[in-house]
Amino acid sequence: MSLFLLLAAALTTCYFSPRRAADAQMFMIRDVTLSIEPGGDVTRGTNVTLRCRAAVSSSGPEALTREYTVSKDGAAVYTKTSRGPEDLLYRLADARVANSGRYSCKVAIEGRPATSGAKKLTVTGLSDPVLRLNKGVVSEGEELSATCTAPGEAGSIFFSFYEDGAEVREQQVASDRAEVKLRLGGVGVRRLHCAYTVLVSPHAFKSSESNGVTVSVKELPIAVVLEILPRTPKIYEGDEIYEGDELFVSCSVHNALLAFSSVHLYLSQGDKLLSRGHATVNHSGVALAEEPADFECRLETGDVVKLDKKTISVTELFSAPTLTMSPAEVFQKEQLKLTCHSESSAPERLEGEELVYSLDPPGGPLAPRGPGVFSGHALPYDFNYTCSARVKGIVKHSAALSVRPKVSVSTPKISVVGRAVLGRPFQILCRSEVGSLPVNYTLLTGYDPLSSVSVERPPRQALFTATVHKPEDIGKFMCEAQNRQREAPLSKRLNATVIVPLTHPLLTVIPPPADVSEGDDLYLICGVRGSPPVSFKWYRVGERQPLHTTTSGQNHTEYRLPGLSRAHSGVYYCEADNHADNVVRSDSVTIEGEATSGTLTSGTDPDLWD
């Protein structure tokens, strides 16, 4: 076999007909193509042909059986079997928009398939819809039949019906016509037309409007009448209607040609249904200013609705009361007064009757003291009150009034925050345990005010900065708290320790050096002026760590050097500090010599440490 034939055998897919090996016929489907004639974009009514061509090579003269399948948008629409090599022709006579889509062709030989590429067909143009009615004149509420036709169209079609330009019905069908039943709204001449939309997924094609058809709608000889009559004898025509006046409302049918059982009447006031019936419905009631003044009489028979509406004006007999409190600010258990009052009334219609005021809840701590006046002591907690005004059976209520009694501020407590050091600024805390905010705190020395702070948020306390130059001055501070014009409780005097910073450090040696012999004990006494407790430290020059540290509740203490010897020679000093956090250092003393003598920098002054 030549190299060319070997390559051809490797690159070409060949199939064998399922016969005996000796008679087997090989074949190969080289290509499948689909074409659209006269083209992919055509107008409505064009004769379109889809041509499917299969290029097949075979090893023998015998014709192979071919099965053609034409698909549109993935769904098979036509299938044909052929034993000849001729092309498959799929004809779309008088094409419509519904024929638009993507087409492909599949060829199968001996069970072996091959498919062409997809081709798109777009058909434009729709036929004009036609509207027909079975009647040209109908009575109010009567039904008529309307038929809309899309001549020659196919597929999924939505038909829309319009009355005076507004869509009133829609129907989807799988044919070129739709019939619906319509009841036209209102009396007079109505114009109807229709249109349709063809769905070709994912697109929709809308037609033009159909011909317009007019229909005359005749009014039924039936009417509904609403009457509103005041029953109060003193009201004459043209007089105002006041709250409390009795009203008679009637809703009735006139010229009813139908049986009353098919007529339904509804009498309503605003959203409230007052009554219903057939021939006549009535309602009696009292006019109220706060209720809707719109009345409606509604007749329904079949799909026919008749309305009669009336609006009346109701004048207030008296206005809704308002509830006020005096004084505007009240503390717990203090005297208060609530006043209930209607700003306006119609004395000409009250006929000498007076408005009667009441407080809700009744029977509380507030007792009536006159028309609309209630007084008593405020409760120790918040409370809501309302009041009502009543006359001639009409009752009106005020808005709720919240009484929130304030709590008197308690006697404040005064204290020092941290420590008070002589001559340095420190903080004083003034705090009341209870009391309604805002609270005004004032710091006093003696009885003279130094500064004030207004506290409007929790915690209920104030901080002041002060300085004292004598320890006894700390007891002059007091704190005043106030959350009202009167009664400003005063704290006790400030009771706190004033820390005096340390001064005058002195290191003394006892016994005097002249009286000391080797082996004796020597005492280094460190003393200062200032507030104990005092922390003392003794040092020998040249050593980093203190020889000894101690804290004393007095302002002097000692350090013993036992069995004095040459090893104790050196320069000594002491340091001291207290809660004022100021470290003071003494002058140094020198201890030297074989017998150990001392050189002192100052003498002993015992009064210095008292």
- Give CA separation, 565 vs 137, 569, 571, in Å: 145, 8, 14
Q: Tell which residue, 396, 395, 390, has the closest CA to residue 371.
A: 390
Query: How many residues does this entry show for the chain?
Result: 610
Across the range 219-245, mean pLDDT stands at: 74
User: Which of 1-15, 476-490, 588-602 reaches the highest mean pLDDT?
Assistant: 476-490
Q: What is the mean pLDDT of the chain?
A: 87
188 with 228, same domain: the answer is: no
403, part of any domain = no
Rg (CA), the chain: 57
Q: What is the pLDDT of residue 21?
A: 44
- Find the range with the poorest average confidence among 92-101, 270-279, 569-578, 599-608: 599-608
485 with 509, same domain: the answer is: no
Distance CA 153, CA 72 (A): 18
179, part of any domain = yes
Distance CA 357, CA 314 (A): 23
Q: What is the pLDDT of residue 24?
A: 67
Last residue of a domain, one of 445, 476, 499: 499
328, part of any domain = no
Q: Tell which residue, 147, 69, 155, has the closest CA to residue 113.
A: 69
- Those residues with Cβ within 8 angstroms of residue 136's Cβ, 6 or more apart along the chain or in another chain: 213, 214, 215, 216
User: In terms of pLDDT, which residue wins out, 14 or 200?
Assistant: 200
Question: pLDDT class for 232, splitting at 50, 70, 90?
Answer: low
495 with 511, same domain: the answer is: no
Question: pLDDT class for 115, splitting at 50, 70, 90?
Answer: very high
In the predicted structure, residue 238 carries a pLDDT above the cut 60:
no
Across the range 135-164, mean pLDDT stands at: 92
Q: pLDDT digit string (tens) for 561-595?
A: 999 888 888 999 999 999 999 999 999 998 875 54
Distance CA 361, CA 378 (A): 14
User: In terms of pLDDT, which residue wins out, 349 or 547?
Assistant: 547
Q: What is the pLDDT of residue 9?
A: 36
307 with 350, same domain: the answer is: no
104 with 7, same domain: the answer is: yes
Across the range 434-452, mean pLDDT stands at: 94
Question: pLDDT class for 11, splitting at 50, 70, 90?
Answer: very low
446, part of any domain = yes
* Counted domains in the chain: 6
User: Which residue matches tokens 């507004």?
Assistant: 166
Contact between 161 and 180 (Cβ < 8 Å): yes
Last residue of a domain, one of 389, 405, 423: 389
508 with 541, same domain: the answer is: yes
The sheet that has 280-286: what strands, in order across it?
Answer: 223-230, 246-254, 280-286
Q: What is the pLDDT of residue 130?
A: 96
The CATH number of the domain holding residue 264 is 2.60.40.10
Q: Please state, as a whole number, how many other Cβ atoms lie within 10 Å of the Cβ of residue 511.
A: 12
66 with 163, same domain: the answer is: no
135 with 177, same domain: the answer is: yes
- Give CA separation, 238 vs 189, 235, 241, 560, in Å: 40, 8, 9, 121
Question: pLDDT class for 140, splitting at 50, 70, 90?
Answer: confident
- Find the range with the poorest average confidence among 50-59, 429-438, 511-520, 584-593: 511-520
pTM of structure: 0.51
Q: What is the pLDDT of residue 12?
A: 37
Q: Tell which residue, 571, 558, 570, has the closest CA to residue 527.
A: 558
Question: pLDDT class for 10, splitting at 50, 70, 90?
Answer: very low
Cis peptide bond upstream of 368, omega within 30: no
| Domain limits for position 297 | 223-315
Last residue of a domain, one of 356, 389, 422: 389
164, part of any domain = yes
119, part of any domain = yes
In the predicted structure, residue 171 carries a pLDDT above the cut 50:
yes
Across the range 356-362, mean pLDDT stands at: 92
Q: Tell which residue, 81, 193, 108, 190, has the closest CA to residue 148.
A: 193
Across the range 108-125, mean pLDDT stands at: 92
481 with 550, same domain: the answer is: no
Distance CA 217, CA 33 (A): 61
Question: pLDDT class for 3, splitting at 50, 70, 90?
Answer: very low
Q: Please state, as a whole number, how many other Cβ atoms lie within 10 Å of the Cβ of residue 81.
A: 9
Across the range 105-121, mean pLDDT stands at: 93
**Percent of the chain at pLDDT exceeding 90:** 64
Coil, strand or helix at 609: helix
- Those residues with Cβ within 8 angstroms of residue 561's Cβ, 6 or more apart along the chain or in another chain: 521, 522, 523, 524, 568, 591
- Give CA separation, 545 vs 534, 538, 539, 541, in Å: 19, 9, 7, 10
427 with 479, same domain: the answer is: yes
- Give CA separation, 443 vs 153, 401, 407, 478, in Å: 99, 38, 22, 6
Q: pLDDT digit string (tens) for 98-108?
A: 999 999 999 99
461 with 523, same domain: the answer is: no
> Alpha-carbon torsion 435, 441, 442, 445, what sign?
positive
324, part of any domain = no
In the predicted structure, residue 507 carries a pLDDT above the cut 70:
yes
Q: pLDDT digit string (tens) for 144-158?
A: 999 999 998 988 999
For the chain, helix, strand, coil in percent to 5 are 5, 55, 40
Across the range 232-237, mean pLDDT stands at: 47
Contact between 498 and 580 (Cβ < 8 Å): no
167 with 237, same domain: the answer is: no
560, part of any domain = yes
DSSP assignment of 467-507 equals --SSGGGGGGEEEEEESSSS---BPPPP--PEEPPPEEEEE
Distance CA 135, CA 160 (A): 19
